[in-house]
Structure 1
Amino acid sequence: MGTKIPISIAGNLVADPELSVGESGVAHAKLRVAVNQRIQGADGTWQDGEPVFHNVSAFRALAENSASSLRKGDPVTVAGELEFRSYEKDGERREARRIVADTIGPDLRFGTAVYQRMSHGTVAAPDAEVRAGVEAPVAAEAASPAYNVSSKSPVVVPPFAAAAGSEMSF
């Protein structure tokens, strides 16, 4: 029997997410996240501590969206349950831990992101038009990735424009 503990981490992806589909048809993404502790020395300078590596599992739509949105090196936040398991391999008892993610997202301390809502049950192509509520259609250029970690500079996305002929005047 496993023990589950609520947990939240912020770190960087060590590799691209690995997406697979199980025999039951459920999508599963495996992620590896490195978390570095910052330590301030007696002289006031900051240094990186030893990294702690976490195995993260995501399922269903979260797995598919993570695999299509995140890449190696991206800063991420993960919330879920820390799961401890014990098993036997080659006659030897072993233990493993992983985080089963409830949510995964880019860490916005280091860049910007544009949220693209997906319709229930489908994952749209990156260049597909998206409609969300009363908002105007999002153009393909706004749907392009706006999360640029390498330059750490924001990507300017124009605000939603009013649909032609629906301008309001007072």
Structure 2
Amino acid sequence: MSTNELTLTLVGWLGAEPKHYPGLGGATPFTSFRMASTRRVFDRDRGAWTDGRTEWFTVKCWRGAARNVAESLRKGDPVVVHGRLSTDEWAAPEGTRTTLVLDAIAIGPDLSYGTARFARTVHPDGAGEGSADGAGVDADLVGLPDEPGRLAALAVLAEPDPDEATSEALASVG
């Protein structure tokens, strides 16, 4: 970890559908999308809130978060993203271009505008979240439709009920 990194939290809206790159050939899987953040300012002369300048960012999520974001978020969704800010430069016909890139550390829906239901993704074999190729992600997730066109990751944990385990232990002693 760098001592001089710039971390920031953005609140805004997805300006495009997330694009998922599964990381074929040993590459690290990632998802990227464009995000707009518009500052609201109070105009004292008019006595009303107005929109300020809209700033655009490219957000990138890696590994297990990449798959979760691709399955959870859609264009127009309000989001909160926390991550490391950098710039990306490339050559275009009209000259050198730059964009602001936020490498997401944490990301989620902005619950100021709606509700969400969290479903933990579980990888019993340890694959997915920490693996470079994301192997085992599809096999370990069961997709259930919770809205048209969306999937919720659902995993069932086979853990005993603590009260039941205690009762069984006491019964074997007595």
The corresponding residue for 1:78 is: 81
Give, as a single letter, the amino acid of the residue that structure 2 aligns with 1:18: K
Could you tell me which runs of 5 or more consecutive residues in structure 2 were left unpaired when the two chains were aligned: 129-136, 145-152, 162-174
RMSD: 3.0
Q: Quote the Cα distance in structure 2 between the aligned partners of 1:129 and 1:14.
A: 27
The corresponding residue for 1:31 is: 33
- Normalized per residue, which structure has more helix? 2
In structure 2, the CA distance between the partners of 1:29 and 1:110, relative to structure 1 (3 Å rule), is same
The corresponding residue for 2:20 is: 19
Whether the aligned pair in 2 keeps the contact of 1:80 and 1:100 (CA below 8 Å) is: yes
Provide, for residues 37-84 of structure 1, a one-character-per-residue CA deviation record: whole Å limited to 9, x for no partner: 111111320111221111111111111100000001000010000013
Q: Secondary structure at the match of 1:67?
A: helix
Q: Secondary structure at the match of 1:126?
A: strand
Moved more, 39-48 or 103-112: 39-48
Q: Quote the Cα distance in structure 2 between the aligned partners of 1:87 and 1:4.
A: 22
Matched residues, number: 137
Whether the aligned pair in 2 keeps the contact of 1:4 and 1:84 (CA below 8 Å) is: no
Provide, for residues 110-148 of structure 1, a one-character-per-residue CA deviation record: whole Å limited to 9, x for no partner: 011110011133351322753358699xxxxxxxxxxxx
- Normalized per residue, which structure has more strand? 2
Report matched runs for 1:38-53 at 5 Å.
38-42=40-44, 43-53=46-56
Whether the aligned pair in 2 keeps the contact of 1:56 and 1:98 (CA below 8 Å) is: yes
TM value normalised by structure 2: 0.66
CA displacement at 1:97 relative to structure 2: 2.7
Moved more, 119-128 or 100-109: 119-128
Q: Quote the Cα distance in structure 2 between the aligned partners of 1:39 and 1:68.
A: 34
Q: Secondary structure at the match of 1:38?
A: strand
Whether the aligned pair in 1 keeps the contact of 2:56 and 2:100 (CA below 8 Å) is: no
Larger radius of gyration: 2
The corresponding residue for 2:168 is: none
Give, as a single letter, the amino acid of the residue that structure 1 aligns with 2:156: R
Moved over 3 A (4+): 85-90, 92-96, 132-136
